[in-house]
Amino acid sequence: MKNILCLNKIAAVGTDKLDKAVYNVGTDVADPDAIMVRSAAMHDMEFDKKLLAIARAGAGVNNIPIDRCSKEGIVVFNTPGANANGVKELAVCALMLASRNVIGGIKWVDTLIGTEGVAKAVEAGKSKFAGVEVLGKTLGVIGLGAIGGMVANTAVHLGMSVLGCDPYLSVDAAWNINHRVNKAASFEEIFKNADYISLHVPATPSTKNMINAETIATMKDGVRIINLSRADLVNAADMKAALASGKVAAYVTDFPTDDMIGVEGAVTIPHLGASTAESEDNCAVMAAIELDDYIRCGNIKNSVNFPNVSMAMSGDKRVCVLHANVPTILSQITTILSDTGVNIENMTNKSKGDNAYTVVDVTGGVAEDTVSKLSAVEGVLRVRVI
C-alpha cells in the first residue's frame, strides 16, 4: 500500500483516480510515498527518504523547495494547462476591468442609496466612469504557454491586434496559437507598441520586477497592464508612481499586496485565476494520474525538475535511476546491471538541466546488492526497482 498525503483539499474527482487497493490517500497520512499539494508552503518541511514525488495541483511551484527535492531524488510534478481556461476567462474579464471603470461605477452607485431620482443622478454622474473599448487596440502578450496562448487567441476574436513574445515557446504550444497573433522579437517591442500588456510568465530571478520604472518609461502613455501570473513580476513602488502620473492608465492584478490595495487605478483581484470548480477538478485529475504513472510504472510527465520519460514496460523488472546529468553515469549503470547477469530488454535516458533520468527494463531479478552498487555511483540520487 502506498501512502499519499494531501496537504490541501484535493478534489475527490482527482483522488478517486487513485486505486484504493493500491493507495491510502488522506490529509492525515503518515510516512507518505507521495504528496499532493495546492498552495501549502513546503519550504520548511522535512522529507522522509521514502518520499518519491510531489504533485502540485496547479502550475506554479514556488511553494515547493525544488532544488532540495532534486538533490533528494524527489520528482516534482505540476499540472500545466489544467487550469488554463479558468485563468484565460479571468484575463478577458481583466481586459474589460482595465478598460471600463466598472468597479468604480458600481461603488459610486452604492452611495446613491436613498437618493431621490436615482436614474437622473446616474445619468448626471456616469461620465466620470467612461472608459475605452478593446476593439482595434493592440494587446501584447508576454508568455505564450497554455494560458498566454489562449489569451492571445481570444483577444484576436475580440478584434484586437495581438503581439506575442515567448523566447521559450515550444513547438506544441506554437501549433495552438492563432496565425493572426504576430510575433514580437523582444519584450521591448511589446513595451513600445502595446496599448494593453498581459503577463503570463513564471516568477524567476530573471522575470522579477520585469515591469519597473525603466520598462514602463518605454511604454505608450496610458498603457493598461494585466498581471495574473505573480506579484513579483511588477515593482509595486514603480507601478504606483506610474498610475499616479497617468503613464499607466490601469493595472489589474490577481495578487493583492499591501502596496497595491486601494491604489487609484489598480484593480486587485483576490487570486481567483484558477479558483473555479472546473479548474480544481482538472488539476486534481492530472496530478493524480501523474503520480500513479510514476509510482507504478516509473514514467515521468510534467515534472519541473526531471525530464519527461515514458516507456512501455517490458521484461521482468524496471530499474529507475534519478541522477545528475554528468558523463559516465549511464555507462556505469549499464555495466553494473550487465555484470549481474540480467539482460537489458529496453532502456531510455533523458536529461533536463542538471538532472537526468534513466529507465532500464531487464529480464531476470534485480538483487539488493545491485541496487546498492547503483546507489553508490557518484551523482546517483535515487534508485528504484519496479
Report pLDDT for 204: 87
Indicate if 84-97+132-268 has the same CATH topology as 1-83+275-305. yes
Report pLDDT for 178: 96
Which residues of the chain, if any, have pLDDT below 70? none
Task: Quote the CA–CA distance of 215 and 74 in Å, as a whole number.
Answer: 38
* CA dihedral (47, 50, 51, 53) positive or negative: positive
Tell me, what DSSP letter sits at residue 211? B
Distances (CA, A) of 306 to 76, 197, 381: 8, 32, 12
Q: Where are the alpha helices (DSSP H) in 60-207?
A: 66-71, 84-99, 102-110, 118-125, 146-157, 171-175, 187-193
Tell me which residue of 281, 317, 279 sits closest to 297, measured CA to CA.
Answer: 317
CB atoms within 10 A of CB 282: 23
Total-model pTM:
0.81
The tens digit of pLDDT for each residue in 201-253 reads 988 899 999 999 999 999 999 999 999 999 999 999 999 999 999 999 999 99
* CA dihedral (225, 229, 235, 236) positive or negative: positive
The tens digit of pLDDT for each residue in 260-316 reads 999 999 999 999 998 899 999 999 999 999 999 999 999 999 999 999 999 999 989
CB atoms within 10 A of CB 46: 6
Q: 84-97+132-268 belongs to which CATH class? A: alpha beta
Task: Quote the CA–CA distance of 51 and 71 in Å, as a whole number.
Answer: 13
Task: Quote the CA–CA distance of 128 and 116 in Å, as a whole number.
Answer: 20
376: part of which helix (H) or strand (E)?
none
Tell me which residue of 344, 334, 317, 328 sits closest to 374, measured CA to CA.
Answer: 334
Which CATH number is 306-386 given? 3.30.70.260
**Domain residue ranges in the chain:** 1-83+275-305, 84-97+132-268, 306-386
Cα end-to-end distance, the chain, whole Å: 14
Task: Quote the CA–CA distance of 160 and 107 in Å, as a whole number.
Answer: 29
CB atoms within 10 A of CB 371: 16
The length of the chain is 386
Burial class (CB in 10 A: 0-12, 13-18, 19+), 307: middle
Q: Is 159 helix (H, G, I), strand (E, B) or coil?
A: coil
Output phi, psi for 165, to 5 deg. -140, 125
Distances (CA, A) of 6 to 39, 178, 382: 11, 38, 23
Give the homologous superfamily in CATH for domain 1-83+275-305: NAD(P)-binding Rossmann-like Domain (3.40.50.720)
